[in-house]
Amino acid sequence: MLEVVPLAVAAFVSTNVDDLALLATFFAAPRMRARHVVAGQYAGIAVLVALSLAGAFVAQLVPTEYLRWLGLLPLLIGLKWLVDGLRGKSDDDDVEVRPAAGVLTVVGVTFANGGDNIGVYVPMFAGLDGSELAITVAVFALMTGVWCAVSYWVVRNPVFGEHAAAIGRTLAPFVLMAIGLAILFELL
- Rounded CA gap, 9 and 47, in Å? 18
Give the pLDDT score at 188.
47
Of 33, 29, 23, 19, the closest CA to residue 84 belongs to 29
Other C-beta atoms closer than 10 Å to the C-beta of 21 total 16
pLDDT band of residue 29 (cuts 50, 70, 90) is confident
Tens digit of pLDDT for each residue in 82-139?
887 788 765 444 444 456 677 888 988 888 878 778 877 877 887 788 899 999 999 9
Between residues 120 and 5, the one the model is more confident about: 5
Give the pLDDT score at 11.
86
24 CB-near residues (< 8 Å, 6+ apart):
151, 154, 155, 164, 168
Q: How far is CA 174 from the centre of its chain?
A: 16
DSSP three-state, residue 46: helix
DSSP three-state, residue 186: coil
Tens digit of pLDDT for each residue in 120-130?
787 788 778 88
Between residues 58 and 157, the one the model is more confident about: 157
**Exposure pattern of 76-102 as b/e (b: 16+ CB <10 Å)?**
ebbeebeeeeeeeeebeeeeebeeeeb
Side chain identity at 33, as an amino acid letter?
R
| Helix-helix angle 4-28:99-112, to 10 degrees | 130
- Rounded CA gap, 31 and 34, in Å? 10
Between residues 170 and 48, the one the model is more confident about: 48
